[in-house]
Structure 1
């Protein structure tokens, strides 16, 4: 594998930048290419077939940019497209040197890494999942968490207003408090024993302060970014064939970051600073 291969990060919009930020903090020496499919967002209300088609197209674009490993920093894409891409497309389109070695390109998601550890945070055995309507309806978290922690009681709550509030900048104001409290109260009414709450949408960390202000004492709030970053560090250590664990640049030298969007580069650059935490300059791409 080419040791200069960048890591690809994909999301339907901006939210994946909150995951990328944590990955970059954990692995600053790598080069990264971020792609936001803003021209076709939101994914959450689209069918499984549409999300799969869009996600595969974007993943293949990132492969074309030199990425040999792509992280779907999008819960909807992870829920509706990842399995087909991993099991059907990668072995067929990007076969490895031997069947045992697996495909020469890899795609990872954000649901499984979270499901693998969430039970470690809950003493009561009751967890809540806040997500988009598409992620909730896919039941991916119920399936994945049930695989690793079958004893857990998992209650989901769809929060369809949260992403529009965030992307329109309204999350910073008092008007968003009503919608945050509405869903937290509804979830905790359905299961008052919840002691661990997962933000299962990469936009939701921008509401973290408002959520914490509402949560009862003793409820642990989890964001996916740090969990996914730690999982990726472990994955690269276990897969040295990708030549990424040592880093493509000299020790102490940060890698390069490219930010791509399928919509307006100017609009993306302006909005992305909310999620990335500092100004960026994006490029528009056309498939």
Structure 2
């Protein structure tokens, strides 16, 4: 089985794309709603909370855990992959994040290639990144993109209120105003030059991708993480069949560290026909 973790509900946009792409695979989603938001927490807290949830997914039978959260990926993924996992009882399992496939799509360069290659090393495009405060402050996207495309211009724009407005079902006009402000803020940093590619670096933002499309020019390619992650996972599973071998087909389990009834109701913003959540057991 494949586990998908998020500190809240945004990861459901990724899960929904995965369930659609892989109807023959089984998934367990775990939202750490008892401890959300992660954005105001220290890096040590984010790492500890993410590890506990990943361990809970492994204990539920998942062999592969995907961090469907930009903050958790930016802060915790490397530590879990390089330090915690090899020393744990779960060393035959694996943890993936959503930053790597997004950077791959933005640079057209495999994640394993971390040095500039032809022709990407001559790329002078403008890449915009829209995200939450914590994701933008981590600088993970500029750092990883410039390793592969050192001549590109990476411009980041915090959309601090957009995720909350989406989750609280703000009116379309309010959401559009927030998106327009974000796009305007990014263009102010580029002297009005639109980005060639725009990364929606928050898993809430795919729900308003049509608004970003409305306020960005047609030539700007919008990289929305659910489809990007699904493409990457399809390639990964084709090369690592052991992570899903022998699993039951088409099973979906939704777990939360919060109140299941409350979370089930709020989850419909992200997936209208989503199944009900049940209580998670975390360490």
- Would you call these one fold, judging by a TM-score over 0.5? yes
CA distances 1:43-79 after superposition (whole Å, capped 9, x unpaired)? 1222211111110010011111011100000000000
Moved more, 216-225 or 62-71: 216-225
- 2:115 aligns to what? none
Provide closer, same or farther for how the CA distance between residues 62 and 274 of structure 1 changes in structure 2, counting only shifts above 3 A. Answer: same
Q: Aligned pair 1:125/2:125, yes or no?
A: yes
CA distances 1:142-174 after superposition (whole Å, capped 9, x unpaired)? 12112222232111111110111011111x431
Tell me, which stretches of 5 or more residues in structure 1 are unaligned?
1-5, 96-102
CA contact (8 A) 2:260 2:278 kept: yes
CA distances 1:241-285 after superposition (whole Å, capped 9, x unpaired)? 32x2x6734xxxx51101011111111111112212413211022
Tell me, which stretches of 5 or more residues in structure 2 are unaligned?
110-119
- 2:56 aligns to what? 61
CA contact (8 A) 1:45 1:133 kept: no
Distance in 1 (CA, whole Å) between partners of 2:251 and 2:268 is: 17
Normalising by structure 2, report the TM-score: 0.89
Distance in 2 (CA, whole Å) between partners of 1:286 and 1:111 is: 27
Distance in 2 (CA, whole Å) between partners of 1:35 and 1:285 is: 7
Give the aligned length.
268
Moved more, 44-53 or 28-37: 44-53
- 2:247 aligns to what? 248
Question: Which of 92, 105, 109 in structure 1 is aligned with 2:93?
Answer: 105
Q: Aligned pair 1:146/2:146, yes or no?
A: yes
Shift of the alpha carbon at 1:230? Answer: 1.1
The alignment partner of 1:174 has SS state of: helix
- 1:203 aligns to what? 204
Distance in 1 (CA, whole Å) between partners of 2:155 and 2:3 is: 32
Distance in 1 (CA, whole Å) between partners of 2:59 and 2:81 is: 17
The alignment partner of 1:94 has SS state of: coil
Moved more, 175-184 or 85-94: 175-184
The alignment partner of 1:85 has SS state of: helix
- 1:28 aligns to what? 23
Distance in 2 (CA, whole Å) between partners of 1:104 and 1:22 is: 26
Normalising by structure 1, report the TM-score: 0.88
Matches within 5 A, 1:80-91: 80-91=75-86
